[in-house]
A and B are shown apart, each in its own frame.
Chain A
């Protein structure tokens, strides 16, 4: 299924932490429904305005025409997104990318592991897994304090988190929170160093591991080859062939 491009209405925007926002928009295109791990290119400024490129943001949640994006305000583009309020409109191109193949994971014991804003696509993932009758365990790492964590309680088995600062949760790394050997499959998204450590732990236990990568993107649909990841199977577009890859292919 390929991406479409349309103007969408903002339903709400919440501040979850000083630099974390939850943006909800209306997505009514039933023929192009997003699923876990996919993303959209977001733009709420003119084609002739800065920044030049739209911003790729993963699907945090989607249900009944309500599409949510959890994102970190980090630069010019996300600062503009952060100013959106209910009733505003923005341009979305998507859904883009391969996403997680939830149907293919039936019957597997799954750990979902996130780091910081990398937890954004994992909520929809856990929801889809739970809906398919396969509640995963969820482990998350944050720098200081957790955010957007409570909703995971409803769709996961075990939920645990760590922080770098030790202000809450386990003081240490997210990889301290689980034994890879307890699972058949580990699904991860977060900083590259975290995903590499998760992948290493999974590989040591002989457990399959999929990771969702992040790259700067221009087109978001496989046309410009700006987000290429050089994998063991040749160059792949993170936007089109990914963002979800077998960890063994990319690390």
Chain B
């Protein structure tokens, strides 16, 4: 049996699959559906300092092999999270990762201060949400703003810091390098792809914000290309995600050099997807005599 554990930022993950932010609640929602201890961790719903109600209008729209969403960072706020949701996350038997977003840099910094004083295992800095007007993806488009936001949060963050990047980055490799230089411990990518849908009967965009974030298998080959580029650009760990729905998909990201993966939209099509994908990876490794992910990580680049 292959050893599925992964070392990441001072922690030993139970497995290579982390549930991606925004698709898995804070984790306990899935406790009776799958064995959460198989997961490497859960990245909780994106938080903002004071919480927010999220977007009005349509929030979901199915596409071929994917889904568009415009949730708009609906969340209970950092303090509520620390008091209510985090203690439940800490009972899951897997890493509790706090995903932190914000509208202003001040909100990010105060959120990072509060989370640093909490029991969260890692912080994933979200500078890539496409569905909020301020902060969010705007920071992740250009290397200088991404690096500046990372540096400021780094100074307030006492936890391992993952920075989650946007596929809308103007120059992805430059953003990766800037974030690494600013002190990020790891990079995760990609967040959803900016996309559009129009309701023919209403003759209007489906979403109030016109554009929404596309995820699911439809984006996987593009996300894999971006993960490949990120791995080539930096020497810190890269957490790969984007449309992973099977163990084979996940292994592609590992062979491209990802330290581990996150699984998001696949949990909607199969609520036990994170565990199933781990098992499928393990089965492939066993069939191919691969004992640890270290043996194949980045092998496609050699």
Contact = CB atoms under 8 A, between A and B. Distances in A.
Q: Do A and B come from one complex?
A: yes
Interface of A: 2-5, 32, 41, 43, 47-48, 50-54, 91, 93, 216-219, 221-228, 230, 234-235, 240
Contacts of B69: 218, 224, 226
Interface stretch (B55-63, B100-108, B167-175): B55-63
A50 B65 contact: yes
Given A48-B246, A52-B67, A224-B60, 15 more contacts: A4-B33, A5-B33, A5-B34, A50-B65, A52-B65, A93-B271, A221-B33, A223-B24, A224-B22, A225-B59, A225-B71, A226-B60, A228-B59, A235-B53, A235-B54
A224 B268 contact: yes
Interface string B43-79: 0010000000110101110111111010100100000
Contacts of A2: 28-29, 31-33
Contacts of B117: none
Given A47-B273, A53-B268, A235-B74, A218 B31 contact: no
Contact of A222 (B29, B56, B60, B63): B29
Nearest to A46: B269
B23 interface: yes
B272 interface: yes
Main secondary structure of the interface of B (DSSP, over half): loop
Interface in B2-60: 22-25, 28-34, 45, 53-54, 56, 58-60
Contacts of A230: 53, 56
A221 B65 contact: no
A52 B66 contact: yes
Interface string B244-283: 0110000000000000000001111111110000000000
A4 B34 CA distance: 8
Interface of B: 22-25, 28-34, 45, 53-54, 56, 58-60, 62-67, 69, 71, 74, 216-217, 245-246, 265-273
Contacts of A235: 53-54, 74
Contact of B71 (A53, A221, A224, A234): A224
B269 A228 contact: no
Nearest to B31: A2
Main secondary structure of the interface of A (DSSP, over half): loop
A5 to B, nearest CB: 5
B63 A52 contact: yes
Nearest to A221: B29
A40 to B, nearest CB: 12
Nearest to B22: A224
Contacts of A221: 25, 29-30, 33, 271
A53 B271 contact: no
A219 to B, nearest CB: 6
Given A3-B33, A93-B33, A225-B54, A53 B62 contact: yes
Contacts of B54: 225, 228, 235
B70 to A, nearest CB: 9
Given A3-B33, A47-B273, A53-B269, A218 B74 contact: no
A5 B272 contact: yes
Q: Which of A4, A47, A48, A52 has the most CB of B within 10 A?
A: A52
